[in-house]
Amino acid sequence: MILVVPTELKTRENRVALTPDVVKELISKGFQVKVETGAGEKSYLLDSEYTAVGAEMVTDRNALFSQADVVLQVNAPDPADIKKMKPGGILISFMYAAVSQDVVKACMDAGITAFSVDAIPRISRAQKMDALSSQSNLAGYKTVLLAANALGKIFPLLMTAAGTVKPARIVIMGAGVAGLQAIATAKRLGAIVEVSDIRPETKEQVESLGAKFIELKGDDSIKTEGGYVKEVSSDFLKKQQELITKHVSEADIVITTALIPGKKAPMLLTAEMVKGMKTGSVIVDMAVEQGGNCELSELNKTVTKEGVIIIGESNLPSLLPLNASQLYAKNISTFLLHLADKDKFHWDLEEEITKGSLIVHEGKAVHPSVSSII
């Protein structure tokens, strides 16, 4: 079975799907691996490192796709690249199929099979395949560093002969994987951290990291699935905004992490709330690519509005490309080895992981998230 790793073409993307150590492991299991020339350079991985472990470097991108039994990428390829795949070929990448129907249609037209790693069920036996968590973990860490760099003061309490410097106050909205890592990082740097999350079960995790939980009683409108919030009413979001406004007005940094799969990110910080923040304070909107949690954030820009610095970086894991690629490569190779051996895919279509992540099978859309084009 020929596995191919193309260069990622998405703007601001520095990751690569397989690292040399994982390539070596897959080759030892009988797979052939072909890598596009320069695919790992933005992750500080040289072509010579790939050839040293047995990979074949390919300069011609068209030939790479046409030879592939399996294409492994971080982001889904452009439809133009998908057209170059042979019928019956297999794609494994992030797809976010519900909002990427052009990619889904391209897979259907090409007669290929496509798995989306963001759709892998969040169950215990799939933890090593959980690319959403591995990448969010790094994003949560990097977010705090970006905020710290933009803030004109230090995080910890500092007592000196010249006077006492109060610790920075940080409000983190959302205690998922990214939020929890942001809490841990901010606490290590000495900040006072307050956390808001609409899922009451996160309170214990938040407090175990030394942060204060801003508690708002939930209601029946909150629906969760696989650890993520799937749906929440506008009335509840309004109540959350009212509660959080005071905390936000006193904060030096606000980090927002709230996403709803397949939908626009919920609005958590209105323009009025930003106006009430202190001059020189910082917002990092981790949901900016899906419309943003902050009304004033701008995609891939750092702007200052109402005296507040607002950071809207869309691809935070890509700012740590070596670690992000290392973790993703392990995620995707574990997933591949669950689905296949060197000779064939097992096609157990009722198995939970396979069924949950299979978007298109032999040119037919099969996943509920793309029901509108099935």
| Residue 129 within any structural domain of the chain | no
Q: Specify whether 101 is catalytic.
A: no
Q: Specify whether 44 is catalytic.
A: no
Q: Are residues 95 and 157 in the same domain?
A: no
Q: Are residues 310 and 326 in the same domain?
A: no
Residue 350 sits at φ, ψ, to 5 deg, of: -100, -5
| Residue 125 within any structural domain of the chain | no
In sequence order, the β-bridge partners of residue 5 are: 35
Return the CATH number at 344.
3.40.50.720
Q: Are residues 155 and 176 in the same domain?
A: yes
Handedness of CA 142, 143, 145, 149 (dihedral sign): positive
CA 195 to chain centre: 20
| Residue 365 within any structural domain of the chain | no
Report mean pLDDT in 10-residue bins for the chain, 374 residues: 97 97 98 98 98 98 97 97 96 94 95 97 96 97 98 96 96 96 98 92 94 78 52 70 90 94 87 96 96 96 98 97 98 98 94 96 92 66
The single residue of 43, 73, 100, 133 carrying the catalytic annotation is: 133
Q: Are residues 181 and 229 in the same domain?
A: yes
Q: Are residues 67 and 204 in the same domain?
A: no
The total number of structural domains that make up the chain: 2
Distance CA(34)–CA(1), nearest Å, equals 11
| Residue 127 within any structural domain of the chain | no
The single residue of 32, 199, 228, 249 carrying the catalytic annotation is: 228
The single residue of 130, 197, 252, 285 carrying the catalytic annotation is: 130
| Residue whose C-alpha is closest to residue 176's, from 128, 116, 218, 225 | 225
Q: Are residues 267 and 175 in the same domain?
A: yes
- Other beta carbons within 10 angstroms of residue 324's beta carbon come to 26
Residue 366: the pLDDT is 94
Domain encompassing residue 304: 136-319
Distance CA(169)–CA(251), nearest Å, equals 5
Q: Are residues 82 and 92 in the same domain?
A: yes
**With DSSP H G I counted as helix, E B as strand and the rest as coil, what are the percentages for the chain, rounded to 5?**
40, 20, 40
Which are the contacts of 334, defined by CB distance < 8 A and separation ≥ 6? 128, 129
Residue 263: the pLDDT is 82
DSSP reduced 3-state for 137: helix
Q: Specify whether 372 is catalytic.
A: no
Distance CA(59)–CA(145), nearest Å, equals 37
| Residue 366 within any structural domain of the chain | no
Please say which residue of 286, 319, 352 terminates a domain.
319
Q: Specify whether 125 is catalytic.
A: no
Q: Are residues 150 and 217 in the same domain?
A: yes
Q: Are residues 221 and 195 in the same domain?
A: yes
The single residue of 122, 188, 199, 249 carrying the catalytic annotation is: 122
Q: Are residues 338 and 313 in the same domain?
A: no
| Residue 225 within any structural domain of the chain | yes
| Residue 234 within any structural domain of the chain | yes
Q: Are residues 162 and 302 in the same domain?
A: yes
Please report, as a single letter, which amino acid is at residue 133. S
Q: Are residues 295 and 330 in the same domain?
A: no
The single residue of 28, 127, 208, 221 carrying the catalytic annotation is: 127
| Residue 126 within any structural domain of the chain | no
Q: Specify whether 12 is catalytic.
A: no
Report pTM. Answer: 0.91
